[in-house]
Structure 1
Amino acid sequence: MKKIILLFAFTFGVSAFSQIKVLKNETLVEIGKENSVGLYKKENKYTFNYQDINTSNLNTFRSFSFLDVNGDVMGLYKLVTDGFIDEPTGNVMLELPNDIIELHYEKNYGQPTVQFIQFINKNRKYVGKSQFLNKKQIDKIFGVGTSKAALYNKPVQKTSAPVSTTVSQQNQFNETPAATKQETPKKKSRK
């Protein structure tokens, strides 16, 4: 009986005074990654992780996150890829819960590209910039055409209203939305 009490007291004493605690390992699922830009998912929260080319230290990585409410991830993908087809006249601004993101479109070697510009904590003094990405790289980051695209929620495909709302918000940030609509037939006729 003494041995049982001694064993119980020893195990209780060790667990009560231990400083190291094992935490539950919560994993992020990689949706897609291209060079130094990646998209990750944890439950209903999506995180963009990118190497900040705006700093002199090339080991600076930044991220911004948002919840996928009403198909926001696919709405963002559509907004970004629509900018390749019909380039906006200015940067497209998106407000997230903690940050402001600008989509900056530019042609590099004749190919349309996009750059994510992050105003950290909605402060214009702290700016992070991703590398320029083309359409193929954006598809890879969002997992389009891969088995990882199945990680998106199924209701996203059903609701198309938030996507059109997002596209109309893009036109609000353009300086001349009418000029953008007039350029569309010209660009399509070149193809």
Structure 2
Amino acid sequence: MRKIILLFTCLLGISAFSQIKVLKNESVVEIGKDNSVGLYKKDDKFTINYQDLNTANLNTFRSFSFQNLNKDVSGLYELIINGFIDLPVSNIVLELPNDIVELHFEKNFGQPTVQFIQYINKNRKYVGKSQFLNKKQVDKIFGKLNGKSSQYEKPDPATNANASAKNSHPEKKAKK
């Protein structure tokens, strides 16, 4: 009997002091991905992940994020596509909240390509570089080929529910 109580006490003690905690699964939507570059959306924040070719360790992945405040995702896509049509003489510099990203255009095998060059934490000492991307790859990453580009302007369901709840009783607002 003592052994059973001792065993039960040990099992109860182990479960009470466990170190693993289950976290809420956050919903991240993949807009598009090609090889080692991808565009992801969480609420109204967009993140571009890429494999950093500037490091000796090829398992280094970096990312930069921005809000879609003024249709910035569509603007970035248009900026890249326009760069393919008329290659800029120098890099296009974009200042994001946490980083500086340059769009480096170059012709590879006669085809226009773009490369993301990220200055991490706006520090020119820490640089990450993506692979070179052609137009088809950019279309795939920005969800133009799979139809997910419609998610750029899609409002957050929680925000949309709050807005509809506020506007559900307009006659009550008029009486006040």
Q: TM-score w.r.t. structure 2 length? A: 0.76
2:80 pairs with 1:80: yes
Q: Report the equivalent of 1:168.
A: none
Paired residues for 1:33-112 under 5 Å: 33-112=33-112
Measure how far apart 1:21 and its partner are.
2.8
Equivalent-residue separation in structure 2 for 1:36 and 1:112 (angstroms): 19
Equivalent-residue separation in structure 2 for 1:42 and 1:113 (angstroms): 28
Q: Structure 1's 128 and 91: CA in aligned 2 closer, same or farther, altered over 3 A?
A: same
RMSD: 1.9
What is the identity, as a one-letter code, of the residue corresponding to 2:153?
Answer: N
Equivalent-residue separation in structure 2 for 1:36 and 1:17 (angstroms): 40
Structure 2 SS opposite 1:112: strand
Q: Structure 1's 18 and 55: CA in aligned 2 closer, same or farther, altered over 3 A?
A: closer
Measure how far apart 1:148 and its partner are.
1.2
Q: Report the equivalent of 1:185.
A: none
Deviations 1:55-111 (A, max 9, x none): 111111100001110100000000011000011110000000000000000000000
Measure how far apart 1:118 and its partner are.
0.1
Equivalent-residue separation in structure 1 for 2:74 and 2:109 (angstroms): 28
Give aligned pairs, total.
Answer: 144
Q: Gaps (5+ residues) in structure 2?
A: 1-12, 156-176
Structure 1 SS opposite 2:149: helix
Q: Report the equivalent of 1:137.
A: 137
Q: Report the equivalent of 1:125.
A: 125
Measure how far apart 1:19 and its partner are.
4.1
Equivalent-residue separation in structure 2 for 1:79 and 1:131 (angstroms): 18
Equivalent-residue separation in structure 2 for 1:46 and 1:57 (angstroms): 26
Q: Report the equivalent of 1:31.
A: 31
Q: Which has the higher helix share?
A: 1
Equivalent-residue separation in structure 2 for 1:154 and 1:51 (angstroms): 28
Measure how far apart 1:22 and its partner are.
2.2
Measure how far apart 1:28 and its partner are.
1.2
Q: TM-score w.r.t. structure 1 length? A: 0.70
What is the identity, as a one-letter code, of the residue corresponding to 1:92?
Answer: I
Equivalent-residue separation in structure 2 for 1:56 and 1:16 (angstroms): 44
What is the identity, as a one-letter code, of the residue corresponding to 1:110?
Answer: G
**Paired-residue identity, %:** 74
Equivalent-residue separation in structure 1 for 2:46 and 2:21 (angstroms): 28
Question: Which structure ranks higher in relative contact order (CA pairs < 8 Å, sequence separation ≥ 6)?
Answer: 1
